[in-house]
Amino acid sequence: MPTGIPLRRSIVALLLAAVFFTVAACGNSSDDMSTSGASPTSSAQRQKLAKTRFVANAGLAAGATYQWIVKPYRAGKFKKGANGRTFALVKAGLAGGFAYNRLKAAATNAKGDPTLSKAVAPLTAGIDALKDLPSKLRKGDSTDSVVSSFDDVINKVKQAGKDAGADVTDKVPSLSDIGG
C-alpha cells in the first residue's frame, strides 16, 4: 500500500505544526501582568501564611499521632497477642510516616516567621530522629520507646507553637489521608 506512508507522514506533519503553533501562542508577551510591580505575597503576608501553615501541618501531625499511634498503644493494641495487632501496627507505621512528613513541613513553615523560627529551631533534631521510627512501628519493634518519642516531639512542637502565639490543635486525618 504505497499511499499509506505519505498519508501518515502528512498527518504527522500536520499534528506537529498544530502543536508548534499552539505552544508558540502560549508564550509570554512583554505587556504581561507579571511585570506590574508588586508581588501578591509581601513579606508580611508570607509570615502570616507561614504561621497558618505551621499550625495546619503541626495539627495534622499531632492528630495522626494521637489517633493512630498513642490511642491504640494506650488501648493495648500493640501488645503481642492483641486482637487486631498487625493492622494497628500497620496503621501506626503509616501514621508515623505521615506525622514525620507534616512535622518536617511545619518546621519548614516555621522558618517564615521569626518568632516561630526561634521556637522551633531546637526541635529539628528531634523531628529528624523520627525518620526511622515508622518502620519500627510497622514491624512492632520497641513500640514503647517509639510511641513515647512521637508523643514527646509532638508535645514539644505544640508547646513551641503556643509560645510563639500559634496554638496547635489536633486535626485527625482520615485513614486514607495517611496512606491506608
Whether residue 144 lies inside any domain: the answer is yes
- Nearest Cα neighbor of 158 from 62, 64, 70, 67 is 62
Residue 72 CA to residue 89 CA, distance in Å, equals 9
Q: How many domains does the chain have?
A: 1
User: Is there a domain that residue 179 lies in?
Assistant: no
Q: What is the pTM of this model?
A: 0.71
132 inside domain: yes
Q: What is the CATH number of the domain that holds 104?
A: 1.20.120
Say if 172 falls within a structural domain.
Answer: no
Residue with cell 503556643: 162
pLDDT score for 177? 84
The Cα 125–Cα 118 span in angstroms is 14
Q: What is the pLDDT of residues 111-132, one digit of tens each?
A: 998 999 999 999 999 999 898 8
Question: What confidence tens digit (pLDDT) does each residue in 36-66 have?
Answer: 444 445 566 666 688 999 999 999 999 999 9
Supply the range of the domain harboring residue 113: 43-163
Question: Rg of the Cα trace of the chain?
Answer: 25
The residues, ordered by sequence, that sit 6+ positions from 94 with a Cβ below 8 Å of its Cβ are: 68, 134, 138, 178, 179, 180
